[in-house]
Amino acid sequence: MMNDRLKILFVASEIAPFSKTGGLADVSAALPSALAAAGCEVRVVTPRYGSIDRRRQKIVADETAREFTFEVRGRPIRVGFGRWTADEPGLSVFFVECGVLYDRPGVYGDPFTGMDYADNDYRYILLTRAAFELCDSTGWKPDVFHGNDWQSGLLPFWLFRAQSTGQFANARTLMTIHNIAYHGLFGFDTVARIDGAASYYYPEGPLEFHGQMCFLRAGLEFANAVNTVSPTYAREIQSGPEFGYGMEKILRARGDDVIGILNGLDVETWNPATDRHIPATYSRDNLDGKKLNKEMLCRQCGFPYEDEVPLIGMISRVVAQKGFEILIPVIPDILDLPCRMIVLGSGDGKLEQMLTEFARTQPGRFFFRSGYDEEFAHRIEAGADVFLMPSKYEPCGLNQMMSMRYGTLPVVRATGGLADTVFDADADPQQGTGFSFHRYHSQDLLRAVQRAHQTYANKSRWRAIQLLAMSRDFSWNRSAELYKDLYQSCLLQPGYSAPSSA
Ligand code: ADP
């Protein structure tokens, strides 16, 4: 088996460009493709949400996988598979088709009310069940079932159940944590909806977390291997509740097998030399286009264009994790340096309101666009001088890597993947390609922005740092090789040593 092509079944609740709420979608698009290019045979399973149009996205009904029945509140529902027809050699993407559960405008919740869908338990029980149904009906036997975040947390549990009846005996599971703060917690009713779960649901048991059914815990307890998306985050989430969100003990109990593999970037989509979304392309050899992008971006946001005033960009879910609570108090100080700021993002209503208020009272200096806008995101990466990520925690983070590739120097808090990818230009002049601060505090954030501002005034130094940033390799190739090694080490494990039932 070990010398054959590795067969990987990759399950993810969002995949760009079909569905996306954050970095998981980028990873779920790029990693399977990089694994296929590295010689693996990869099948991806994801829901076909209402927003994914079959015709436009080149999805057809799949003839190879049988329909199956899934029970929702006692009612049997027919579930089928769609298949992406534009797939690459070694890579197939399957969409789980179940209108009753997935045909809605949002991915996890209602975009109008901001509330999670009340039946998310059914929706993600189905996703992981469908992965096994697909294998059963096509006779395809993966070496590794690879789940991502709580939405695929039941994948290892299903494999454990299957192996107890002799099925998929040689397969193993890997769980990747993209953000440990999201647990997938449900009430007691959910336990009865998961075949075989009742025996493993008891206080402190492998499916329970503070009196609730926990999908993430199921994944962490039953998986043969667990990893996360940067080495620093792997250490942080085991260090205590601040980063581990209550899962630290469960992770520590696994011994030292929780490792970090940095995400790569889709370097074709995020390439300033070929980017179709930006007014002017540019590269390391000729940065002239970047100036034009800044001019156009300033115009779009109603700012005057001034070369000597740095333009700071931010693209982010507007949630506490991303550092808005330390940023908001010092926005006036940052604007007074002087700088101009553009924020794109959506999320928490109160935070969005505060940003809207800044935009109203500081026109020409502060711009906020609420919403999700892929093209504007590219324009910000290309047109800004500085990119801000003051995250409280950051499992890996992609925007700092995109920014460096676009010669837009990041100011980051040194946590998780930000600590692993951005080295401070003052502390490390040889390798530094950004500015970082450690303490989660407004004044420390402000000082880092001040340092970026001072450095910006020194044109030749700024240019040298930009060129260094743009020459860094953030492609998936290296990480895909590390995932292949991790799959191989999963396969060396003796199968389940399952947590005990009650
Ligand atoms: P997270 O997964 O925590 O949201 P990441 O940095 O890993 O953070 O990934 C975020 C991804 O989502 C990036 O590709 C980023 O550009 C994109 N993104 C976030 N918010 C928006 C938005 N409002 N419009 C466009 N793209 C966005």
Which atom, in ligand 1's list, is nearest to the CA of 344?
23
Question: What whole-number distance in Å separates Cα of residue 198 and Cα of residue 272?
Answer: 53
Give pLDDT tens digits for 50-106.
Answer: 999 999 999 999 989 999 999 999 999 999 999 999 878 999 999 999 999 999 999
* pTM (predicted TM-score): 0.94
Query: Is the Cβ atom of 313 under 6 angstroms away from ligand 1?
Result: no
Q: Is 481 in the pocket of ligand 1 (CB under 6 A)?
A: no
8 Å CB contact between 72 and 122 = yes
pLDDT in tens, 383-406: 999 999 999 999 999 999 999 999
β-strand 311-315 against 75-84: which pairing, if any?
unpaired
Pocket test for ligand 1, best of 317, 368, 381, 420 (most atoms within 8 A of CB): 317
State percent of the chain over pLDDT 90.
Answer: 93
Q: Nearest C-alpha to atom 2 of ligand 1 is from which residue?
A: 23
Q: Which of 316, 401, 412, 479 to mutate to test the pocket of ligand 1 (most atoms within 8 A of CB)?
A: 316
Whole-number pLDDT of residue 1: 46
Q: What percent of the chain has pLDDT over 70?
A: 98
Q: What is the pLDDT of residues 418-462, one digit of tens each?
A: 999 999 999 999 999 999 999 999 999 999 999 999 999 999 999
Is the Cα torsion angle 107, 112, 117, 123 positive or negative in sign?
A: negative
Atom of ligand 1 nearest to the CA of 27: 7
Q: Which pLDDT tens digit goes with each residue over 228-244?
A: 999 999 999 999 999 99
Query: Tens of pLDDT along 135-155?
Result: 999 999 999 999 999 999 999
pLDDT, tens digit, 9 for 90 and up, residues 262-314 = 999 989 999 999 999 999 999 999 999 999 999 999 999 999 999 999 999 99
Query: Is the per-residue pLDDT at 195 higher than 70?
Result: yes
pLDDT at 114: 83
pLDDT at 499: 56
Cα gap 156→223, rounded to integer Å: 5
Query: How many angstroms does the Cα of residue 397 sit away from the middle of ligand 1?
Result: 8
- Whether the pLDDT of residue 2 is over 70: the answer is no
Q: Three-state SS for 32?
A: helix
pLDDT score for 279 = 98
**pLDDT (mean) for 253-259:** 87
Query: How many Å apart are CA 253 and CA 232, to the nearest integer?
Result: 19
What is the whole-number distance in angstroms between the Cα of residue 314 and the centre of ligand 1?
10
Comparing 256 with 451, the larger pLDDT belongs to: 451
Task: Spell out the residues 6+ positions from residue 460 whose beta carbon is closer than 8 angstroms to its own.
Answer: none
